[in-house]
């Protein structure tokens, strides 16, 4: 409503994927270790690095539907 862009991504594998090289890591409790590079990271931190890099980001329009009376349904932008 206020023109702030929102992006939704598929969270699948954001926790497990190595944020440095993109390989699927091995989970050990809350940590993830990359089998290729050996990088170890807390899974939530790792996911936080992966989310902005995700190719699956769906960007929504910043155009408001306030005047049209429909503010609950975001519109996908065609970019």
Mean pLDDT, to the nearest integer, of 29-41? 93
Strand partners, 59: 7
pLDDT-derived band of residue 68, with 50, 70 and 90 as boundaries?
A: low
| Residue closest to 22 by CA, chosen among 7, 8, 9, 37 | 37
CA 17 to chain centre: 12
DSSP one-letter string for 54-73:
-TT-EEB-----GGGT--SS
Domain assignments of the chain as residue spans, ordered by start: 9-58
DSSP 76: B
pTM of the model: 0.59
Mean pLDDT, to the nearest integer, of 73-77? 57
């Amino acid at each position: 409503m206020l023109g702030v862009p929102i992006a939704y991504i598929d969270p699948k594998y954001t926790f497990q994927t190595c944020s440095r090289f993109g390989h699927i890591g091995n989970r050990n409790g809350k940590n993830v270790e990359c089998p290729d590079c050996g990088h170890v990271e807390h899974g939530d931190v790792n996911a936080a690095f992966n989310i902005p890099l995700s190719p699956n980001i769906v960007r929504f329009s910043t155009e408001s539907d306030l005047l049209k009376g429909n503010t609950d349904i975001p519109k996908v932008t065609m970019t």
